Amino acid sequence: MSDTAPGNVIGGSANQANYIVNGFATGGAPFLTDVGAFTGSASFYDTFDQCGNVFQWNDLNSTSNSSRGVRGGGWSINDAFYLSASFRYTVDPSSEFSDVGFRLAGVAVPEIDPAGMGSVLALVGGALGLVERRRSKKE
């Protein structure tokens, strides 16, 4: 974490984000970058580009008003203040902007070794057997 405004150089340098700095975006061209383009600037949770690139929709609080919140700053902004997690503004969800989007997060599911599958099935079967025995003792 840093209180220093990030730079905007793609690559492995720390404290970098995709946004306009002093009138110039990364490489002098203000466009979107692939997630992970700033390899030296991972978050505490090892995610990338949560600040800069695009403002991300985040407001799912079931309120009836027509606007929803976004955070994180977009590539088109020219001030690091808007990258901070505390900055939030609202947008009409039916509007379209080139610097507003969303993030899809997946969970890696470990593969099960077929050789160990018998052990897993035996464990599950044993647990079900214990439950069945307890149920029969109570009746």
Range 117-122, long-range pairs (CB < 8 A, 24+ positions): none
Q: Output Rg (C-alpha) for the chain, integer angstroms.
A: 23
Residue 5 clears pLDDT 50, i.e. is over it: yes
Q: DSSP letters along 89-123, please?
A: EEE-TT---TTEE------PPPPPPGGGHHHHHHH
Q: List, for residues 26-58, the tens digit of each pLDDT value.
A: 665 567 888 888 889 888 888 888 788 888 887
Q: List, for residues 93-108, the tens digit of each pLDDT value.
A: 888 888 888 777 666 6
Q: List, for residues 58-115, the tens digit of each pLDDT value.
A: 766 666 667 888 888 888 888 888 888 788 888 888 888 888 887 776 666 666 666 6
Q: DSSP letters along 11-34, please?
A: SS-SSB-SS-BTTB-GGG------
- The reported pLDDT for the residue numbered 26 is 65
Domain ranges in the chain?
1-105
